[in-house]
Amino acid sequence: MNEFRRELEAELGSAVTFDPQQTKAYDHDLGEMPSVLMAQIRPVPDAVLAARSPEQVASALRIAARHGVPVTPRGQASSGFGGAIPTRGGLLVDLTPMNAVLGIDPDAGTVDVQPGVVWNALSARLRHAQLDLCTCPTSAPASTVGGWFATGGVGIGSFRYGSIGEVVQEVDVAGLDGRIVTVRGPEMELHHQTCGTLGVVTALRLACRPALPLRSFAIQLEGADGVPALLREARERLDAYSIAFSSAAYLRMRAMAEEEKPAIDRGLLALVTVTEPPGSIPDLAGVLAVAAAVGGTVLPEEVARREWEDRFYPMRIKKLGPALLVGEFYVPAAAFAEACRRIESALSGDLVGIEATAVRGDRMAVLAYLVDPGAGLLFPLRMAKALLPMRIARRLGGSAYAPGLWLASETERCLGSEKFAAYRRKKVQMDPGGLLNPGKLQVTRPRWFPAASLSWAIGIGSTLAGPISRRIPSRRFPAPRPAR
């Protein structure tokens, strides 16, 4: 480590720190894990590079490779899947200082950015050029473009534009050999969703949409059975941009956290957002037709406006906690209602709220929230309950939402067999020593515990989740407080 330090400091000067006071700040992300599991890894990096240029990233990778030091890339650490947490100390590359917009091409409708640019800041820049983001996560006020691409995911706008992987056109990647290459197509796809385990992304080109105004409508459905029909109608009649769903239980949790009245008291609220060409009038007739086709009711404009304004704050319900357990998964739209029924039944003793985003290709990305006291001897067991929704979804043709430290054992299911096989071949070629973000994607079956895969242990925990879930409740609904 001494020789590594000498060489890194000689090449990168004050951009790098080995000060334990500073490196300690990078040992966590926004997720929650019991200390008994965190004790199985070395989450505090030995050194942190606050990267300001692609060349600095490339040099640091080359030096780390020469000394066999693991490297963890990090954006804003908002992912909660543990992807940005080091498992074996080493070098952490903080990409947030690389946050420049490199160029906007209004004719091509594209933007080139550094990986540390934050989504909402990018949106503001694009609007000056009459463009806007095709899709962004609901963490857009804080999270980075590079971090979302490396995690993979869907968000606002994914009903029309699909996942972040479908919006990014090419990326520059720095490898352990110190070279930076531009990749696109199937080669680029191997860097999407793989947590920087093949290289560190130093620039991205994204497709943009014309900056047309957005308008949201809130429709109350009696239940989730009407969701596939709603998606079909909203696509055909409205060419909707984004569709998000909140269960009445989730809205009740949010209302409890905010001490106000919930928007609905039963069923499901669908927030359908459309783009409006300038000068056109809102297609109210179309919205009413969509609602009628699925037996839903259009709610007052005020409800839709409020839901849209609140889109970046889904985690406010954590106030009810202190802890929030989150189960996240994909499921085919046709199986969404059944998934909701099974989750609510399996966790009937708990406070469970469901939020979902409709994705191009009739998929749903679903979040099941469980409010939990967050402490005590049984907390690790209760945490396993967050894996139960994913297990239920799997039986219905779904999968985990993203790999990462906690769900590394789901890698093959997340990526799909074909992409997984191609990824493995590339990993052997690019990083045979497993230095790039170790422990985040499981390439082989773990041979020993715990270093090989923490997520393997978590997988075992998840098989216990079913039997324990009813016996160890997290938190039941308290008596509702009077509405304001």
Ligand X SMILES: Cc1cc2nc3c(=O)[nH]c(=O)nc-3n(C[C@H](O)[C@H](O)[C@H](O)COP(=O)(O)OP(=O)(O)OC[C@H]3O[C@@H](n4cnc5c(N)ncnc54)[C@H](O)[C@@H]3O)c2cc1C
Residues binding ligand X (CB under 6 A): 29-30, 72-80, 83-84, 95, 115, 137-139, 143-144, 146-148, 150-151, 153-155, 195-196, 200-201, 314-315, 437, 440
Nearer residue to ligand X within complex by CB, 326 or 339: 326
Q: How far is the CB of 395 from ligand X (least distance, A)?
A: 23
Kindly give the pairing relationship between strand 47-50 and strand 91-94.
parallel
Residues 6+ apart with CB under 8 A from 14: none
Residue with Cβ nearer ligand X (155 or 296): 155
CB 136 within 8 A of CB 156: yes
Residue among 439, 437, 441, 443 at smallest CA distance from 454: 439
Helix (H, G, I), strand (E, B) or coil at 280: coil
- As a whole number of angstroms, the distance between CA 75 and CA 64 comes to 19
**Least separation in angstroms between CB 46 and ligand X:** 16
| 280 Cβ contact partners less than 8 Å away, ≥ 6 residues apart | none
Q: What phi, psi does 469 have (nearest 5°)?
A: -60, -40
Tell the smallest beta-carbon distance from residue 378 to ligand X (Å): 25
139/462 with CB nearer ligand X: 139
**Least CB distance from residue 413 to ligand X, whole Å?**
17
Please, which residue, 80 or 226, has the CB nearer to ligand X? 80
Choose between 26 and 217: whose C-beta lies nearer to ligand X: 26
Closest CA to 106 of 127, 135, 123: 127
Residue 315 makes CB contacts below 8 A (sequence gap 6+) with 324
At its nearest, how many Å lie between ligand X and the CB of residue 257?
14
Burial class for 13, CB neighbours closer than 10 Å (0-12, 13-18, 19+): exposed
Task: Copy the structure tokens of residue 475.
Answer: 């938190």
Nearest to 402 by CA among 391, 393, 417, 413: 413
Which structure tokens are listed for 58?
Answer: 């490339």
Give 437's contacts (C-beta < 8 A, 6+ positions apart). Answer: 70, 71, 72, 73, 83, 195, 196, 197
User: Least CB distance from residue 6 to ligand X, whole Å?
Assistant: 26
Residue 461, phi-psi category: left (phi > 0), alpha (psi -120 to 50), beta (remainder):
alpha
- Residue 278 beta carbon to ligand X: minimum distance, rounded to whole angstroms: 28
Could you tell me the smallest distance in angstroms from the CB atom of residue 145 to ligand X?
Answer: 8
Q: Residue 112 or 276: which CB sits closer to ligand X? A: 112
Complex with ligand X: residue 93 or 238, whichever CB lies closer:
93
List the 363-372 sheet strands across, edge first: 297-298, 214-221, 268-275, 242-247, 352-359, 363-372, 323-332, 399-400
Task: Give the residue with the Cβ less far from ligand X, 58 or 294.
Answer: 58
- Contact yes or no for 311/273 (Cβ under 8 A): no
Shortest Cβ 246–ligand X spacing (Å) = 13
Whole-angstrom distance, CA of residue 313 vs CA of residue 158: 18
**Residue whose CB is less far from ligand X, 163 or 469:** 163
CB of 295 to ligand X, least distance (A): 28
| In the block, residue with structure tokens 């396993």 | 384
CB closer to ligand X out of 73 and 226: 73
Closer to ligand X by CB, 147 or 459: give it: 147
* Tokens 């957005």 found at: 214
Distances (CA, A) of 284 to 194, 219, 274: 42, 12, 11
The 3-state DSSP class for residue 351 equals coil
Encode 389-403: b = buried (16+ Cβ within 10 Å), e = exposed: bbbbbbeeebbbbbb
Q: At closest approach, how far in Å is the CB of 2 from ligand X? A: 26
State which residue, 298 or 320, has the beta carbon closest to ligand X.
320
Q: What is the DSSP letter of 229?
A: H
Least distance from C-beta 168 to ligand X, angstroms?
12
